[in-house]
């Protein structure tokens, strides 16, 4: 049994294809298949059911693959011991970020991070929370930046900041008549929200205590995954929406006049760096966290006088 053989079965499990796994491992498909067959012969069991497409692990194969992922992670820690002795960070850091955070954080920290750590290659995917969780479990990304708590026992969460939610309302909205608002002031018939699959949608509905599911306006239902689109819908079509506070940074004075803050304790989301519980690349992840903290305003680094909204 070798680490390479374990890497091959993990690759097949991840991509559910011998051909795709071979491509990802930079070997020919016959080479990969032969090594997996050798491992199965050594163990005396079948790890994959090859009669099904896509290929799936057998019942015992699932247990073997789960343990293989642990062993591979532990073996990578040996390399990390050597890397940690080096003064300069180097290597690849694969990050997943949810769309409601990415545009307000990534452009602000990217150049600074690259300048400080020129030997680190930062690879970023913008994905939904569900996708990031799945990629973390499969080991195809190193960490994610997303709203928490996730209540996933296989993942580790490190809270980074606590971002307030605010209302953004057109002049025709009842919210614009108030200086400070409460969730009870929100009329769900006029609220623009993200489509299903985005955790911020769930948080907005939780802020409003789910007293009424939104269906959009009387003659129009709109599905979007973009916070910026929600802002434009209010600008051009009236109504109101709920925004994360960092989305206010580049607003014009006219747009800022449409912002209404919630009465204390203000609803907020906890934003964390999330890793698999057996995570690697600790120094790189810590460097990323520190870079984010340098950008985030001090008031967002504490949850004092805030009510964290569940996902």
Q: Work out the pLDDT band at 279, boundaries 50, 70, 90.
A: confident
Same domain flag for 153 and 297: yes
Of 83, 117, 139, the residue at which a domain comes to its end is: 83
Q: What is the CATH number of the domain that holds 235?
A: 3.40.190.10
Band of pLDDT at residue 218, cut at 50, 70 and 90: very low
Q: 93: buried, middle or exposed (CB in 10 Å: 19+, 13-18, 0-12)?
A: buried
164 forms beta bridges with 268
In whole angstroms, give the CA distance from residue 237 to residue 240. 9
> Could you tell me which of 171, 145, 149, 88 has the C-alpha nearest to residue 295?
145
CATH code for the domain of 17 = 1.10.10.10
Split into its structural domains, the chain has a count of 3
Tens of pLDDT, residue by residue over 149-180, are 999 999 999 999 999 999 999 999 999 999 99
Same domain, 260 and 284: no
* pLDDT for residue 196: 80
For the cut 80, the answer to whether the pLDDT of residue 216 exceeds it is no
User: Which residues span the domain enclosing 9?
Assistant: 3-83
Single residue among 83, 107, 131 that ends a domain in this structure: 83
* Per-residue confidence (pLDDT) for residue 195, from 0 to 100: 83
- 168: exposed, middle or buried (Cβ count in 10 Å: 0-12, 13-18, 19+): buried
Overall average pLDDT of the 234-252 stretch: 92
- Both 120 and 177 in one domain: the answer is no
Determine the Cα–Cα distance for residues 231 and 242; give it in Å rounded to an integer.
9
Using the predicted structure, report yes or no on whether residue 68 has a pLDDT greater than 60: yes
Residue 7 has pLDDT above 50, yes or no: yes
* Residue 86 clears pLDDT 80, i.e. is over it: no
Residues 76 and 107 in one domain: no
Residues ≥6 apart with Cβ < 8 Å to 157: 148, 149, 150, 272, 273, 274
Contact between 136 and 146 under an 8 Å Cβ cutoff? The reply is no
Q: Are residues 279 and 156 in the same domain?
A: yes
* pLDDT level of residue 237 (50, 70, 90 thresholds): confident
Mean pLDDT of 253-270: 95
Let me know whether 247 and 272 are in one domain. Answer: no
185, 105, 193: which is closest to 145 by C-alpha? 105
Residues 221 and 183 grouped into a single domain: yes
Residues 15 and 25 in one domain: yes
pLDDT score of 221 = 55
Cα R_g (the chain), whole angstroms: 23
């Amino acid at each position: 049994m070798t680490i390479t053989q374990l890497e091959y079965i993990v690759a097949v499990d991840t991509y559910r294809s011998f051909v795709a796994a071979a491509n990802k491992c930079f070997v020919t498909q016959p080479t990969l298949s032969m090594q997996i067959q050798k491992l199965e012969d050594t163990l005396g069991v079948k790890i994959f059911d090859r009669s099904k497409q896509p290929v799936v692990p057998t019942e015992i194969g699932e247990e073997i693959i789960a343990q293989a992922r642990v062993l591979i992670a532990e073996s990578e820690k040996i390399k990390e011991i050597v890397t940690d002795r080096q003064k300069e960070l180097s290597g690849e850091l694969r990050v997943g970020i949810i769309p409601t955070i990415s545009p307000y954080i990534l452009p602000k920290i990217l150049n600074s991070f690259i300048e400080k750590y020129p030997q680190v290659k930062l690879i970023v995917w913008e994905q939904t929370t569900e996708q990031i969780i799945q990629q973390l479990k499969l080991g195809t990304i190193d960490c994610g930046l997303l709203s928490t708590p996730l209540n996933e026992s296989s993942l580790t969460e490190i809270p980074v900041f606590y971002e307030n939610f605010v209302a953004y309302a057109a002049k025709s909205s009842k919210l614009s008549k108030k200086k400070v608002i409460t969730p009870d002031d929100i009329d769900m018939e006029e609220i623009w929200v993200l489509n299903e699959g985005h955790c911020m949608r769930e948080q907005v509905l939780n802020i409003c205590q789910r007293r009424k599911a939104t269906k959009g306006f009387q003659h129009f239902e709109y599905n979007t995954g973009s916070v910026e689109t929600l802002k434009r819908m209010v600008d051009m079509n009236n109504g109101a929406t709920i925004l994360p506070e960092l989305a206010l940074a580049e607003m014009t004075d006219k747009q800022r006049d449409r912002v209404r803050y919630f009465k204390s304790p203000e609803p907020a989301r906890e934003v964390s760096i999330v890793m698999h519980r057996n995570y690697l690349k600790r120094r790189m992840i810590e460097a990323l966290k520190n870079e984010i903290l340098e950008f985030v305003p001090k008031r967002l680094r504490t949850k004092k006088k805030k009510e964290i909204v569940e996902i």
